[in-house]
A and B are shown apart, each in its own frame.
Chain A
Amino acid sequence: MTWFKKGKKKDDSPKSEAVIRGLLIFADTSTVMHAEQILKEESYDIRVVSPPPQYRTGCDLCLEFPMVDAPEISKMLKEIGLAPIDVLPLSGNGMKPLQLYKTKDFGQYLMVRAANMKITVDKTTRRIVNISGGGCPDIPYLAHEMVGKLLSEAPEPSVIGFSVCAYSLNMAYEELKKLIGGE
């Protein structure tokens, strides 16, 4: 879905190196995942990072973005009910989610792992057969909602999940779809 047809693109020119970046802090991880999806669709140069220590509870994400876009982004997010609770200038580097994947081919089944989350699908039917790993309470809920369903019909972890574990599961889920095709 596209909210605003601005067509804003990443600035890859050398001067962009000097752009001051900031952090968007949200009330919960679910809002971060939703805002990330929308801002990426709008081609903002954002990335998910860990928040600064004063905002950490132990299960947190926030968005790093170019400060020059702060007014536009804040206005847009407010209009769609995803307003951040704070906007900070970036001081120090936040840690990035692990973007590495491990796959295991069991023959009929394929398992993809991102960080601590694993998802396994039956390659012939494209049905999700297991979800493993994680420590936040939405993970057993996600497993309950997704296991047994086709990749194309299962709810996405980024939509019904709330935790950083759900974020990792979503990465594994997206990678799995890339590998075998889930549509």
Chain B
Amino acid sequence: MLLLVGAIPIRDLPLLLGRISLSEQGVMVDGRALEIDRGTAAMITVVCTICQEFGLENPTALVAGDLGTRQGSMKIYDCLAENLSELDVSVLTFHYIMPDIEKNKKVLEKIDSLKKRPVLIADAGSMYVAKAGGDATRYDVFTPDLGETAYLADEKAPHPTYTRGFIFHLENDVPELIRRAYDSKNAARTLFVKGEVDYICQDGEILEKISEPDIEALEAIGGTGDLITGMISGLIYAGKSPIEACRIAGKANRRAGELSQPTPATQVKDIIKHIPAALREVLEQEG
């Protein structure tokens, strides 16, 4: 099972654990529509697109409403810690959530107790809490942008907002940020660093860089990182290695962006609709 976990910014949305479907209303989990198509919901939409392309059944989601007041996020942590052993999860993607170091550690303890350890992918608040708790190396894939990579590189910062100035200025030297993140054990085994140039790294080494097509406007568009996390999750579930998944996702994301002819005012939903065509092109090129 591919399990996608994250909070949804809808007031009073209850904890939902169930199969995902796509409808005209957008993403549905356990028969309930997630009206907001940003953040975790955007990531989920893209994973479903990937699963459809590979003829896989739709993934399962664990979501709860949370506008930042923590209650929904706490329900998610508790549900995972209590129920993971009953779910046959092979790939587990953690996304938007209010960080809670202690509760996240309980989830990781539960994962350690499973007979078969799932591939762990984290982005957004789930990546922040992993690093803040000193647990980054327990994950398989992180997908930080440049600001988040600076946070991973700063061994003292408890959140990206506290990244120290001299590290913030290192963003012109991304390989140095990556080195610092790995050296301080604040990186997952595989990193996909999103930026003007995307860096694919494993075990401290930069294996590949993606810079074409160069679509400058994508940097301003909220949610493009969510699309990459979703594509990587779906591709790993479809049998690709983390490095292959990062390479295909990075290229497909840029191509989908190009197909949408974006401006800085373009919304992420206008890019999502180009992902199937972009993915097919990239898969064909990859052979």
Cα A97 to Cα B217 with chains together (Å): 27
Cα A59 to Cα B228 with chains together (Å): 24
Interface with B: A10-18, A64-72, A103-111, which one?
A103-111
Partner of B222, one of A99, A113, A122, A131: A131
Asked if B124 and A135 make an inter-chain contact with CB atoms under 8 angstroms apart, the answer reads yes
Measured between beta carbons, the chain B residues less than 8 angstroms from A118 are: 219-220, 222
On whether A130 and B265 interact (CB within 8 A), knowing A95-B157, A113-B147, A144-B9, the answer reads: yes
Segment 158-174 of B: residues with Cβ below 8 Å from A? 158-165, 168-169
Cα A19 to Cα B140 with chains together (Å): 48
Residue of A with least CB distance to B171: A102
Interface size band for B: 35 or more
Measured between beta carbons, the chain B residues less than 8 angstroms from A143 are: 38, 222
Measured between beta carbons, the chain B residues less than 8 angstroms from A97 are: 161-162
Asked if A135 and B125 make an inter-chain contact with CB atoms under 8 angstroms apart, the answer reads yes
Asked if A59 and B9 make an inter-chain contact with CB atoms under 8 angstroms apart, the answer reads no
Q: Is A37 in contact with chain B by the CB < 8 A criterion?
A: no
Cα A116 to Cα B144 with chains together (Å): 10
Measured between beta carbons, the chain A residues less than 8 angstroms from B267 are: 130, 147
Residue of B with least CB distance to A117: B147
Cα A57 to Cα B97 with chains together (Å): 12
Residue of A with least CB distance to B159: A164
Asked if A130 and B264 make an inter-chain contact with CB atoms under 8 angstroms apart, the answer reads yes
Asked if B264 and A120 make an inter-chain contact with CB atoms under 8 angstroms apart, the answer reads yes
Say how far B124's CB is from chain A's closest CB, in angstroms. Answer: 3
Asked if A115 and B163 make an inter-chain contact with CB atoms under 8 angstroms apart, the answer reads yes
Measured between beta carbons, the chain B residues less than 8 angstroms from A113 are: 147
Measured between beta carbons, the chain B residues less than 8 angstroms from A131 are: 222
Q: Is B128 in contact with chain A by the CB < 8 A criterion?
A: yes
Say how far A44's CB is from chain B's closest CB, in angstroms. Answer: 22
Mark contacts of A111-142 with chain B using CB atoms, 8 A cut-off: 1 yes-contact digit, 0 otherwise. 10101111010100000011111111111110
Cα A96 to Cα B158 with chains together (Å): 11
In the complex, number of A-B residue pairs with CB atoms less than 8 Å apart: 184
Residue of B with least CB distance to A94: B162
Say how far A150's CB is from chain B's closest CB, in angstroms. Answer: 14
Measured between beta carbons, the chain B residues less than 8 angstroms from A156 are: none
Asked if A58 and B100 make an inter-chain contact with CB atoms under 8 angstroms apart, the answer reads yes
Asked if B168 and A59 make an inter-chain contact with CB atoms under 8 angstroms apart, the answer reads no
Asked if B145 and A164 make an inter-chain contact with CB atoms under 8 angstroms apart, the answer reads no
Asked if A116 and B148 make an inter-chain contact with CB atoms under 8 angstroms apart, the answer reads yes
Residue of A with least CB distance to B218: A132
Measured between beta carbons, the chain A residues less than 8 angstroms from B69 are: 28, 30, 162
Interface with B: A1-9, A79-87, A165-173, A175-183, which one?
A165-173
Cα A104 to Cα B96 with chains together (Å): 26
On whether A137 and B125 interact (CB within 8 A), knowing A98-B163, A115-B161, A116-B145, the answer reads: yes
Cα A137 to Cα B76 with chains together (Å): 13
Partner of B67, one of A57, A130, A138, A164: A138
Asked if A140 and B9 make an inter-chain contact with CB atoms under 8 angstroms apart, the answer reads yes
Q: Is B246 in contact with chain A by the CB < 8 A criterion?
A: no
On whether A140 and B147 interact (CB within 8 A), knowing A95-B156, A135-B128, the answer reads: no
Asked if A136 and B158 make an inter-chain contact with CB atoms under 8 angstroms apart, the answer reads no
Cα A122 to Cα B164 with chains together (Å): 30
Measured between beta carbons, the chain A residues less than 8 angstroms from B151 are: 116
Measured between beta carbons, the chain A residues less than 8 angstroms from B266 are: 130
Asked if A140 and B123 make an inter-chain contact with CB atoms under 8 angstroms apart, the answer reads no
Cα A144 to Cα B10 with chains together (Å): 11
Cα A130 to Cα B218 with chains together (Å): 11
Cα A150 to Cα B155 with chains together (Å): 38
Measured between beta carbons, the chain B residues less than 8 angstroms from A137 are: 6-9, 39-40, 66-68, 72-73, 96-98, 125
Asked if B124 and A134 make an inter-chain contact with CB atoms under 8 angstroms apart, the answer reads yes
Measured between beta carbons, the chain A residues less than 8 angstroms from B104 are: 58
Residue of B with least CB distance to A167: B161
Mark contacts of B123-144 with chain A using CB atoms, 8 A cut-off: 1 yes-contact digit, 0 otherwise. 1111111001100000000000
Segment 63-103 of B: residues with Cβ below 8 Å from A? 66-70, 72-73, 96-102
Partner of A58, one of B6, B8, B158: B158
- Name 9 A/B residue pairs within 8 A (Cβ), A-sorted: A58-B159, A100-B168, A104-B219, A129-B220, A137-B40, A141-B36, A162-B67, A162-B70, A166-B68
- Give the top 4 A-B pairs by smallest Cβ distance, nearest first: A58-B99, A162-B68, A138-B68, A140-B39
